[in-house]
Amino acid sequence: MRLVVAGGHGKIALLLTELAAARGDTVVGVVRNPEHVVDVRDRGGDAVVLDLEAATAEQLAVVLTGADVVVFAAGAGPGSGIARKDTVDRAASALLADAAVLAGVRRYVQISGMGLDRVVEDEVFAAYLRAKDAAERDLRSRDLDWTILRPGRLGDDPPTGRVALGPTVGYGVVSRADVAAVLLAMVDEPGTVGLTLELVAGPDPVDAAVQSVIGPRTRSQ
């Protein structure tokens, strides 16, 4: 399988790259900073330098050509202002979807977040929530085989291999390593197409959690 990960230098993206490469997948991370290429390669992937805030859909489509799945893992990150919450967390997601259509890649997995409808006083965080919500709504409108994953508060603890996954779960913490494992399991499972799923730490093994959210007629044999 060939995966292209937008935001390829993010913590979840690097963990996903390592997991996928370890099982023999080809992973290409799209990174903005040339200095980040070596980090992606150290995890077993390859990297393409392309600024998602400046690239065209046609330029990105060249990178996506031949991919089986694209994963949107980009984010403006801490310290960024209101403008970049929109240009990265919303617009770059839409750009990736446009490029996927041009490249003929139907499978699109988006990392979002829980609680996007909450009311907050911090203007920058409110802009982040609006951008993620807009990105979700844009993706749902597309004729793509999309899945949206909404993790809770992210942590850097080692993976537990156990999660709670569903259309709604109670807000909580989840390790980035477990998010990466769930992403990879969802990539493999066509029954997750069209689902928006929330994720926190929980009692269920990752594979069992993914199987539990899909209908019996679409479960992998």
Indicate yes or no: pTM above 0.75. Answer: yes
Q: How many domains are contained in the chain?
A: 1
Q: What is the pLDDT at residue 218? A: 45
What DSSP string describes 65-94? TT-SEEEE-----TT--HHHIIIIIIHHHH
- Look at the block and give the residue holding tokens 């070596």: 38
Q: Which amino acid does the sequence have at 22?
A: A
pLDDT at 217: 40
Q: Do 192 and 183 meet the contact criterion of CB atoms below 8 Å apart?
A: no
Phi-psi sector, 194: left (phi>0), alpha (psi -120 to 50), beta: left
3-state secondary structure of 210: helix
Across the beta sheet with 196-201, the strand order is 46-49, 26-31, 2-6, 69-72, 107-111, 145-151, 196-201, 162-166, 204-205
Give the CATH number, domain containing residue 54: 3.40.50.720
Tell me if 113 sits within 8 A of 71, measured CB to CB.
no
Within 10 Å of residue 85's Cβ, how many Cβ atoms?
Answer: 24
Q: Which domain holds residue 156?
A: 2-218
Tell me what pLDDT residue 78 has: 78
What Rg do the C-alpha atoms of the chain give, in angstroms? 16
Question: What is the Cα–Cα distance from 215 to 128, expressed in whole angstroms?
Answer: 32
Contact 7, 40 (CB under 8 A): no
One pLDDT digit (tens) per residue for the chain, 221 residues:
999 999 999 999 999 999 999 999 999 999 999 999 999 999 999 999 999 999 999 999 999 999 999 999 999 887 789 999 999 999 999 999 999 999 999 999 999 999 999 888 899 999 999 999 999 999 999 999 999 999 999 999 999 999 999 999 999 999 999 999 999 999 989 999 999 999 999 999 999 999 999 865 444 43
